[in-house]
Structure 1
Amino acid sequence: MSNEKSRQINGPTGLTDYHVTLANNHKVIESRSIWMFMIVVLICTLTGVLFGAYLTKMILQQNPTVQYGKSTEDLNIIERNKWNAKSSQFNLSEFKLPVKRIIIASTNTENCNTTTKCIERVQKIQEKHQTDGLNDIAYNFLVGDDGGIYIGRGWEYQGEHTKGYDSDSICIAFIGTFDVLQPSHQQLHSAHGLIEVGVEKNHIISDYDLYGQSQLLSRNDNSPGTLLFDIIKTWYHWKRVAY
């Protein structure tokens, strides 16, 4: 009788083998439940982070001025007389506003980070363009690393920048070369603010298309440069194929 009882009793607690096994199974189940809970929490956290990043990207693409700061009132517009522009050599062709397209270009020159240097750069660009036989500086606007927006042909007159697209496009040229250097925050902010002004004043249609200049040129051209082009490809209005 004592031998039989010793087989049923496990230690001083008086638990049977069945009870011990049941308790161990509960511990295993409890441990697995904790691990499963932790895995679910981790998956939910990662999903939330990824969704938040995706949502942020979509917001920036639909309204990229959120990224660079929206303020059209503090845009630094430099009129032609302020950068001592020369007169056009011939009469310029007027736009039929609003235009439907924005073209982002680069001047493929050295950049400039002060108003004095940017004025010198814009003057040299105009001189070269007119020497090459153009009526005036080719672009509608130029934006410098100083944050200034230098008026070329402005909203009223067609540019001579992208053959076949000049009559219905506003061309914004970033002063500099952007295959190695990134455009500055100031340049991006100024470009976005200028576009917003154009839409508000009905110079540009609200559902405009946006391209890098090299997309529309038949010749091999690196304007607006690899790094700037990579940025504008994330903008909501950028189009892959021109129509």
Structure 2
Amino acid sequence: MRSMQRYHQQDKDWADIGYSFVVGGDGNIYEGRGWNWQGAHTYGYNSKGYGVSFIGNFQSRLPSTHSMDLVRKQLASCAVRGGRLVSSYIIKGHRDMVTSASPGDAFYQEIKRWDHYG
């Protein structure tokens, strides 16, 4: 996380990590900018939603089921309960919004099957 923060702050000249939250390969969710600060994750859309990044290359494999469930079930329901997301929220892949390979082909096919993808 420190390496990501250093890259975003020093190389990109951003105020902090660009994402609202980051999911590590260790199965934990880390707060980047959190709920209260606008992210710098998707140019042109930062004010419209939260950015959640999964650390890793998901071109041909998926993140762990545990990691995906943390976001899909726990983080999202926490956000709805806390008034950060409306219950009819929409999930998008990064490539749905800008030219990008993110979140990787395998993971993109997976999130397209999730409730709220649209």
| TM-score higher than 0.5 | yes
Alignment match, 2:81: 200
1:162 Cα deviation (Å)? 0.5
Match of 1:176 among 49, 56, 65: 56
SS in 1 for 2:19: coil
Higher Rg of the two aligned structures: 1
Distance 2:49 2:66 in 1: 23
One-letter code of the match for 2:25? D
Higher RCO (Cα < 8 Å, 6 or more apart): 1
One-letter code of the match for 1:123? R
Q: Percent identity?
A: 36
**Which blocks of at least 5 consecutive residues in structure 2 are unaligned?**
none
1:218-242 per-residue CA deviation (whole Å, 9 max, x = no partner) reads: xx31111111111100012111xxx
TM-score of the two chains, using structure 1 as the length reference: 0.46
The answer on 1:225 being equivalent to 2:104 is yes
TM-score of the two chains, using structure 2 as the length reference: 0.93
SS in 1 for 2:91: strand
Alignment match, 1:69: none
Matches within 5 A, 1:35-46: none
SS in 2 for 1:198: helix
Q: How many residues align?
A: 116
Could you say what the CA RMSD is over the residues aligned between the two structures, in angstroms? 1.0
Q: Is the 8 A contact 1:146 1:186 kept in 2?
A: no
* Structure 1 stretches of 4+ moved >4 Å: none
Q: Which has the higher helix share?
A: 1
One-letter code of the match for 2:113? T
